[in-house]
Structure 1
Amino acid sequence: MYPINLKLDNRKCAVVGGGKVACRKIGRLLENNARITVISPEADSEIQDWARENKITWKQETYSKDLLEGFFCVFCATDNGDVNRQAAMDAKAAGILVNVASEPELCDFTVPGVVNRGRLQFTVSSEGASPAYTRLLRQDLEKRYHHGFGEMADFINSIRQELIHEKKEDKAATSQQRQKIWRQALTPEIIELIYNQDLDRAKNEIRNAINRAGS
């Protein structure tokens, strides 16, 4: 599968199903500001709460293909394999991206395990081969990459904006020149400093390297 991060802000996403699996899908979609419609005759209390708070739309109906009209993507998450497969086929026929929680072979995309550290995001996927293994690796990533890595991502972004403002990294500079600056600034030693939570020293080293490269 081709790895890609999608912006779902204001995108219409459907979740077919109203149980625990659907809840997990909805939670992630809410974090990404999607416009969510749940299609299920029954739903867990958490889904009902979201609907009452107008965070989602709940269509309290049995699934039918006409309910999928106009959606960008569909998550099939019922406890009925036949319904999931039918919804997946209907979505594909309509050109809608589809994810089936229990049958990765029917998916146009899978949802990886995610570790967020601010604007920095780590993902791990087995393309549905082993959710348990993916979960184990995600937990390992959570331990290895503390929140300082997210702080450093913000710092590096601020430096990039400074360089752009100072026209050291504007469109007149070649791609090779920009790459050279960052290769000199971001080294394995910097990663080691971040691992050791010596963020102040890491920031100073980056600034010094960029100043040397730009002089």
Structure 2
Amino acid sequence: MYPILIDIKQFSILVVGGGKIATRKVCGLIEAGAKPTVISPNFSDTLLNAKKSGSVVLRERSFQYGDTKSFQIIFICTNNKAVNQAILNETTPRQLVNDTTNQYNSNFFNMALIKEKDFGIALTTKGKNPAKTKLLKQKLLSLLKGISLD
């Protein structure tokens, strides 16, 4: 793995799933300036509100063959193994794929990011333990609160 920061705005992004994990991914993408497309039969209230503000495209339906074709980055965020496999079956090596249910199906992972005014700290367990990454982030944030960096 090679850690990088990318300007996500220039990429076409698909998120399949409308629940808690998909919502967290979409919120991060929107914050970074992207306008992702989300396919799901159901959406969280947060995603529905994001649609109202025009920051996301929602397609209220199940995943269908061919849905990944025009996207460069794909997040798989469903708890349906058959759907997840169908998504994987049609992706190509030229697409970035993050299967939030199985790290071994992913060719990239998100990093937890601590953002300050003039610096950032990225954390990762390389997709192996997102809960541990979250805990590390919380501990670092509490350490940084007591430090003046001016």
Could you tell me which runs of 5 or more consecutive residues in structure 1 were left unpaired when the two chains were aligned.
148-194, 200-215
Displacement of 1:62:
1.2
Alpha-carbon separation, structure 2, partners of 1:77 and 1:144 = 32
| Residues 1:119 and 1:101: Cα distance change in structure 2 (over 3 Å) | farther
Provide the secondary structure at the position in 1 that maps to 2:98.
Answer: strand
- How far residue 118 of structure 1 moved from its aligned partner, in angstroms, is 2.1
**Structure (1 or 2) with the greater helix fraction:** 1
Consecutive aligned runs of 4 or more in structure 1 exceeding 6 Å deviation: none
* 1:40–1:52 distance in 2 versus 1, CA, 3 Å: same
Letter in 2 for 1:59: R
The structural deviation recorded for 1:125 is 0.8
Separation in 2, partners of 1:11, 1:198? 34
Alignment partners' CA distance in 1, 2:27 and 2:9 = 14
Q: Which segments of 5 or more consecutive residues in structure 2 lack a partner in the other structure? A: none
Q: Decide which structure has greater strand share.
A: 2
TM-score, reference length from structure 2: 0.90
Q: 1:48 maps to what in 2?
A: 48
Percent identity reads 26
Distance change in 2, residues 1:121/1:85 (3 Å): farther
- TM-score by length of structure 1 reads 0.65
In structure 2, the partner of 1:116 is 115
SS of equivalent to 2:3: coil
Taking the aligned partners of 2:123 and 2:88, their CA distance within structure 1 comes to 24
For 1:49 and 1:120, the matched residues in 2 are separated by: 30
Secondary structure of the corresponding residue to residue 66 of structure 2: helix
Looking at both structures, which has the greater relative contact order when contacts are Cα pairs under 8 Å and sequence separation is at least 6?
A: 2
| Contact map agreement 1:88 1:99 (CA 8 A) in 2 | no
Do the aligned partners of 2:74 and 2:95 also contact (CA within 8 Å) in 1? yes
